[in-house]
Structure 1
Amino acid sequence: MTRLARHGAALLGAGLWNWHALPGGDVAQVLLVYLNDGRRVVVKNGPDPVAEADMLRTLGRTGAPVPDVLAVDGDALVLQYLPADGRLSRCWDDLARVIALAHTGRPEGGMVRYGWSGGYAVGAVTVCNDWTETWPDFWAQRRIGVHLDHVPIDLARQLEALMRRLPDLLPATPAPCLLHGDLWGGNVLVSGQHVTGLIDPCCYYGHAEVDLATLGVFNQPPAGFYARYGMPGRGHEVRFAIYRLWIALVHLRLFGGTYRPMVAQYLNDAGF
C-alpha cells in the first residue's frame, strides 16, 4: 500500500508524508494520503481508474456532489478528500435530492438507449455496458446473462427463465437516466445532515428505479426518502427484485455461497 500512496503523491508532484487505509476497500485499495505540502487526498486503485474518473466527472456535471478528480492514470486515482463523519440515517432527505440530481443526466444527444461508453468491473467481475435499444434487452444481456457461465447449472436455468420473461416484467423504453450503478450506504459520504459525495460509481444509462432498488439491498430508505425523490411506479416490487438480483449475483461471484440465499430470495420475489 505504501507504493500506491507514493504513486498517488507523485501524480500530484508532491512527496509522501504519511498514509492509512480507509474503511471498505473490498475490491480495491483505498488510502487517505498526507502529502508533505500539507494536503490530504484519497488515493485508490481498482479495475480501471481512468474509467472511474470519467464516471465521477459525469456524475459531477449533473450537480450531484462527488469528489474532484485531482489526478489519474492506469494505476491510481487521486481524489479530493471529503468529510464523512455523519450518519446516513440523518441524511435520507438530502440523499433523495442528490439522486434526483444525478438522474437528470441523459445519454449524449438525448438518444433513447441503454448502456455506457465502455465496460467496467467490480473486483474480478466484468461489467459489460454495450449499448442496447431496449431496456429488457440490456438487463437480460448485460446484467443477467453474463453470469450464466459462472453459477451452478440449476441457478443458470432459473436465470434463463427470468431472462425470457423480462420483456413482460420491465418497461421497454423507460427514459434513460444516469445511474450511479452501485448505490448503497457505503458509497455515500455524509456529514451532518448533508451528503458530501457519491463515490465508487459503476455508471451507465438506464431505468431510474435501478438506483432506488439497489439502495434497498443493504439499507432501508424511509418513507420520507420517497416523498422527496418520488414514489416508484406500480409493480415496482417485482422490478426492484430483478434489479437487486444483479447485486446479489455479483456478490455471489465475488464472495461465494453465503450470498446464494440472497439470490434465491430475489428470484422468489420476482416470481421464479
Structure 2
Amino acid sequence: MTEDRLRQDLRALGIEAQSLRPLEGGDLSAVVLFETSDAPPCVAKSGPHAGTEARMLRALAAAGAPVPRVRAISETLFVMDYLPKAPSSDTGWRDLGHALRRLHALPATNNGWPEDYAFGTVWLSNAPAPDWPGFWAERRLLPFAPEFPDLADRLEALAQRLPELLPKAATGLLHGDLWTGNVHFSTGGAYFIDPACYRGHGEVDLAMLHLFGTPPAAFWDGYGEPAPEWRARLPLYQLFPALVHLRLFGEGYRGLVERCLDACA
C-alpha cells in the first residue's frame, strides 16, 4: 500500500496521520507506525483480512488476554496502540502462560470460528466440524493434499487415524498462530499479537510455541501442567504450520513437513 493510500484510508477512519514509518514484521501485511497531533503513537496494519484480525484481537481482549488495544477498524485496515519493544522477562512469560491457560479453558458449543481467515495465499476455512478430529482433518490438513500430490496419500492416511489420536471435543479459544515471534514484550508486560483465532484444542498453541523455538520455564509456571500425552501430539499439530510454510516459502520447509509426518506414523 502506498503512503498516499494509507493516509487516505486512515482519514476514512477519522485519523490524520503524521510521521509514517514502516515497522518490521510485515511479511504478509504492511505495518506502519504513525503519530497524530492529539494522540499517542499508533500502529496501522493493512491487508485483505485486516478487519478479521482486528476482530480476533478484540475477541481475545474480551476474554481477558493481553493484546494491543484496537482503536479503529475497516475491512482492510485497523489501528492499534503502539507498544514499544522491551526485553523479555520471566514475569512476562509467566503472565502470558497464565493468560493462555485461561483462553484454553474457555467453554464453547463448537469448534471453528465465525469468519474464515488466510495466511497470505493460504486460505483457512474455520467452518465448524462435527468433532475436533474432523475439523483438524478437513479444515487444516486435507486442503493441502491437492497442493502437494506427492504427500496426499500420507495426509489422507493420517486424517483417517485422527479419531484415534485426538480428543473428540475441543473448544478452547486459540491464538492460532502462536510462534515465539507473535509474543511481544513491551514496558507493560507480554502481549499476544497477530492472532488467527478459532475454537479448538489448546495444544495447537503449545505445539506452535515449540516449532521455531521454546518458551522458558517461566511460561510453564504460569500455564501449569499440560496433559501427559501432549508431546506425543506435537507433530500432529506442527504439521499444519509446516505445510503452510512449505506452501508460502518453498521447498526449504519440505524436510520439516516430512519429519512431522514421520513422527505421526
TM over 0.5: yes
- Structure 1 residue 142 corresponds to structure 2 residue 143: no
Residue aligned with 2:211, SS? helix
Residue aligned with 2:177, SS? coil
Residues 152-194 of structure 1 show CA distances to partners (whole Å, capped at 9, x for unaligned) of x2211111111111111111113x1110000012112113582
Which amino acid in structure 1 is aligned with residue 137 of structure 2?
A: A
Residues 98-156 of structure 1 show CA distances to partners (whole Å, capped at 9, x for unaligned) of 2123334433xxx1x210112111111101100012110000000001111111x2211
The residue aligned with 2:111 is 114
Equivalent positions of 1:205-216 (< 5 A) are 205-216=199-210
C-alpha displacement of 1:69: 1.5
**Counterpart pick for 2:156 among 157, 160, 173:** 160
Residue aligned with 2:44, SS? strand
The 8 Å contact of residues 93 and 222 in structure 2, kept in 1 or not, is answered as no
Residue aligned with 2:210, SS? helix
- Structure 1 residue 125 corresponds to structure 2 residue 119: no
Which amino acid in structure 1 is aligned with residue 154 of structure 2?
A: Q
Compared CA separation, residues 104 and 80, structure 1 to 2 (3 A): farther
The 8 Å contact of residues 104 and 201 in structure 2, kept in 1 or not, is answered as no
Equivalent positions of 1:251-262 (< 5 A) are 251-262=245-256
Compared CA separation, residues 158 and 148, structure 1 to 2 (3 A): same
The residue aligned with 1:200 is 194
The residue aligned with 2:228 is 234
For 1:16 and 1:223, the matched residues in 2 are separated by 41
Equivalent positions of 1:2-151 (< 5 A) are 2-7=3-8, 9-87=10-88, 91-107=92-108, 111=109, 113-151=110-148
The 8 Å contact of residues 15 and 37 in structure 1, kept in 2 or not, is answered as no
For 2:216 and 2:117, the matched residues in 1 are separated by 31
Compared CA separation, residues 235 and 4, structure 1 to 2 (3 A): farther
TM-score by length of 1: 0.90
Q: Percent identity?
A: 42
Residue aligned with 2:146, SS? helix
The 8 Å contact of residues 5 and 16 in structure 1, kept in 2 or not, is answered as no
The unaligned stretches of length 5 or more in structure 2 are none
Compared CA separation, residues 83 and 267, structure 1 to 2 (3 A): same
For 2:167 and 2:257, the matched residues in 1 are separated by 22
What is the aligned length?
Answer: 264
Residue aligned with 1:218, SS? coil
- Structure 1 residue 263 corresponds to structure 2 residue 257: yes
The 8 Å contact of residues 120 and 126 in structure 1, kept in 2 or not, is answered as yes
Give the stretch that moved more between structures: 239-248 or 262-271.
262-271
- The runs of 4+ residues in structure 1 deviating greater than 4 Å are none
Give the stretch that moved more between structures: 138-147 or 222-231.
222-231
The 8 Å contact of residues 9 and 35 in structure 1, kept in 2 or not, is answered as no
The residue aligned with 1:184 is 179
Which amino acid in structure 2 is aligned with residue 46 of structure 1?
A: G
For 1:94 and 1:216, the matched residues in 2 are separated by 18
- Structure 1 residue 170 corresponds to structure 2 residue 166: yes
C-alpha displacement of 1:37: 3.3
C-alpha displacement of 1:83: 2.7
For 2:27 and 2:147, the matched residues in 1 are separated by 20
Which amino acid in structure 2 is aligned with residue 262 of structure 1?
A: L
C-alpha displacement of 1:201: 0.7
The 8 Å contact of residues 48 and 75 in structure 2, kept in 1 or not, is answered as no
For 1:138 and 1:209, the matched residues in 2 are separated by 14
- Structure 1 residue 217 corresponds to structure 2 residue 211: yes
The 8 Å contact of residues 93 and 219 in structure 2, kept in 1 or not, is answered as yes
Question: How large is the RMSD of aligned CA atoms in angstroms?
Answer: 1.9
The unaligned stretches of length 5 or more in structure 1 are none
TM-score by length of 2: 0.92
